[in-house]
């Protein structure tokens, strides 16, 4: 069965429908594909398995999976034809017994090829990839029978995966038109619909450029530094003594104001004065995490009045996205860095949580200037950053000259690995503060961070 024959068979069994269909997203689509019934037509199942087999013959993978339910029997057949192991993931999480959510045998580090029937937005593919990655498998390639999306492959690429499709919408429309199975008017209506969806998404993406992202980026370029000093000391005298000497080297100072034993009302005006003279930005690492109303007061009131003096704060999205308007609504020139990953050993921010942070930021781009993140290697960080929803910056703590850890769970990667992976700024505390000469050390971090940053920028677009 060739591709054209397969498409015509799909039309014959009613798998390709035209009309008005409400999609999961609520959008009304003039067409709909439903490949579920294909399993009752052995010739088609055999035909599509052969087409997929041909498509993937040069790809490198150890195991095959299908996304439940429609793709399961198809992927099983392909696995048998290629003599490759097959695994699948339960649709419902298992809370008893072995607790295993992936069924079948595989090795840690195995490359898994994922087969699915369709792609619309790609979200179920990403979810699948994350679940398998959490179990120690590697996912790089997805194969779908029909790409019905407007830009599915680009979306998947943006998130770090390759999408291969047997057939796309254009091909179906052309063939059906040729065979007089669809009118030219209907074909145009379908095309107009996908184009309008694409334009809508592109317009939305334009909005993602947050003024606070731009502000930090401009300051990085202006100051030729991507070093953020985490000034974690407990007295104002130490704080300002170090800042005085190091302020010119840094793009931003990160404070933990509640660490100071002797905080008083002089702190903020003094800090603002230094910031103006030495041209750095201010970031209070308060890590807000509560409900909207509570964080609003914690941020704007209390003894610290953080909103009055810090341009940026850190935000945990554990209580949901409404923390963002709670913090920033009605304020000018204030924004957050969302903690999408943490550097500490055993932290509970898993891949799904990270993805949800990106989704929340996509919906609230005006308040998210960047993400805090970390990674185990350059590749790991690259994949993480590829999933950012827009042009947010990546700020990375847990950075030192050498890889290592401390006694309380902090993990460090090197300056070069952090920046090569995609960090736009490195956040350094003890690496500088505990050096015999913090000023010389800050210069060294600045130089190495800036060199790695320029090398990355000139060699790629990340």
Smallest gap from Cβ 456 to ligand S5P, in A, equals 21
By DSSP bridging, strand 138-147 and strand 404-405 are: unpaired
Residue with tokens 């040069």: 58
Smallest gap from Cβ 430 to ligand S5P, in A, equals 3
Q: Which is nearer to ligand S5P, 370 or 398 (CB)?
A: 398
Q: Is 20 exposed, middle or buried (0-12, 13-18, 19+ CB in 10 A)?
A: exposed
Q: Which is nearer to ligand S5P, 198 or 256 (CB)?
A: 256
Picking from 130, 74, 79, the residue whose alpha carbon sits closest to that of residue 102 is: 130
Q: Quickly count: other Cβ atoms within 10 Å of residue 168's Cβ.
A: 16
DSSP string for 264-278: -TTHHHHHHHHHHHH
Smallest gap from Cβ 395 to ligand S5P, in A, equals 8
Buried b (16+ CB within 10 A) or exposed e, 186-203: bbeebeebbeebeeeeee
Q: Which is nearer to ligand S5P, 430 or 451 (CB)?
A: 430
Q: What is the DSSP letter of 90?
A: -
Smallest gap from Cβ 170 to ligand S5P, in A, equals 45
Q: Which is nearer to ligand S5P, 148 or 385 (CB)?
A: 385
Q: Is 335 exposed, middle or buried (0-12, 13-18, 19+ CB in 10 A)?
A: buried
User: Token pair of 128, please?
Assistant: 């699948």
Residue with the shortest CB distance to ligand S5P: 429
Q: Which is nearer to ligand S5P, 145 or 428 (CB)?
A: 428
Q: Which is nearer to ligand S5P, 369 or 372 (CB)?
A: 372
Those residues whose C-beta lies under 8 Å from the C-beta of residue 273, and which sit 6 or more positions away, are none
By DSSP bridging, strand 111-119 and strand 63-66 are: parallel
Q: Which of 111, 191, 287, 401 is catalytic?
A: 287
Give the Cα separation of 115 and 125 in Å (integer).
9
Active site residue 198: no
Give the Cα separation of 59 and 61 in Å (integer).
6
Smallest gap from Cβ 312 to ligand S5P, in A, equals 11
User: Token pair of 137, please?
Assistant: 């498998």
Q: Which is nearer to ligand S5P, 55 or 401 (CB)?
A: 401
Q: Which is nearer to ligand S5P, 163 or 339 (CB)?
A: 339
Smallest gap from Cβ 248 to ligand S5P, in A, equals 20
Beta bridge partners of 32: 17
**CA triple 26-29-34, angle to 5 deg:** 100
Give the Cα separation of 243 and 234 in Å (integer).
13
Which residues of the chain form contacts with ligand S5P (CB under 6 A)?
230, 232, 256, 285, 314, 342-344, 372, 374, 397-398, 410, 427-431
Smallest gap from Cβ 399 to ligand S5P, in A, equals 7
H-only helix segments in 224-369: 236-246, 267-278, 292-300, 306-309, 323-328, 351-363
Smallest gap from Cβ 279 to ligand S5P, in A, equals 22
Half-sphere exposure of 357 (CA within 13 A, CB side): 30
Q: What is the DSSP letter of 93?
A: P
Which active-site residues does the annotation give? 287
């Amino acid at each position: 069965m060739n591709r054209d024959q397969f498409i015509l068979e799909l039309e014959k069994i009613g798998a390709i429908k035209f009309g008005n269909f409400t999609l999961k997203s609520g959008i009304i689509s003039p067409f709909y594909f439903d490949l579920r019934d294909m399993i009752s037509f052995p010739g088609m199942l055999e035909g599509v398995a052969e087409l997929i087999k041909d498509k993937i013959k040069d790809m490198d993978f150890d195991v095959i999976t299908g996304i439940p339910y429609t793709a399961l029997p198809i992927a099983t057949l392909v696995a048998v034809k290629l003599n490759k192991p097959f695994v699948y993931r339960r649709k419902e999480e298992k809370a008893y017994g072995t607790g295993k959510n992936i069924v079948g045998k595989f090795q840690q580090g195995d490359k898994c090829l994922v087969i699915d029937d369709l792609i619309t937005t790609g979200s179920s593919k990403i979810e699948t990839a994350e679940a398998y990655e959490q179990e120690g498998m590697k996912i790089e390639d997805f194969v779908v029978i029909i790409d019905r999306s407007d830009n599915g492959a680009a979306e998947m690429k943006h998130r770090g995966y390759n999408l291969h499709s047997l057939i796309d919408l254009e091909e179906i429309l052309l063939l059906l038109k040729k065979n007089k199975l669809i009118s030219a008017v209907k074909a145009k209506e379908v095309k107009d619909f996908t184009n309008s969806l694409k334009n809508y998404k592109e317009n939305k993406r334009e909005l993602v450029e947050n003024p606070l992202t731009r502000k930090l980026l401009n300051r990085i370029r202006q100051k030729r530094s991507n070093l953020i000093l985490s000034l974690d000391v407990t007295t104002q005298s130490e704080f300002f003594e170090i800042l005085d000497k190091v302020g010119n080297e840094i793009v931003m100072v990160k404070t933990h104001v509640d660490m100071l034993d002797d905080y008083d009302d002089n702190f903020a005006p003094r800090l603002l004065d230094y910031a103006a003279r030495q041209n750095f930005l201010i970031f209070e690492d308060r890590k807000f995490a509560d409900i909207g109303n509570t964080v609003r007061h914690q941020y704007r009131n209390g003894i610290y009045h953080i909103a009055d003096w810090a341009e940026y704060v850190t935000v945990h999205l554990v209580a949901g996205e409404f923390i963002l308007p709670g913090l920033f609504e009605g304020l000018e020139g204030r924004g957050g860095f969302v903690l999408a990953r943490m550097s500490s050993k055993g932290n509970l921010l898993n891949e799904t949580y990270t993805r949800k942070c990106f989704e929340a930021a996509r919906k609230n781009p005006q308040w998210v200037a960047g993400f805090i993140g970390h990674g185990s290697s350059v590749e790991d960080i690259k994949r993480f950053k590829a999933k950012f929803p827009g042009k947010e910056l990546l700020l990375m703590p847990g950075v030192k000259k050498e890889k290592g850890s401390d006694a309380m769970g902090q993990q460090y990667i090197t300056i070069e690995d952090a920046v090569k992976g995609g960090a736009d700024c490195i956040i350094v505390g003890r690496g500088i503060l505990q050096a015999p000469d913090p000023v010389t050390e800050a210069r060294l971090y600045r130089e190495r961070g800036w060199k790695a940053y320029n090398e990355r920028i000139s060699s790629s677009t990340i």
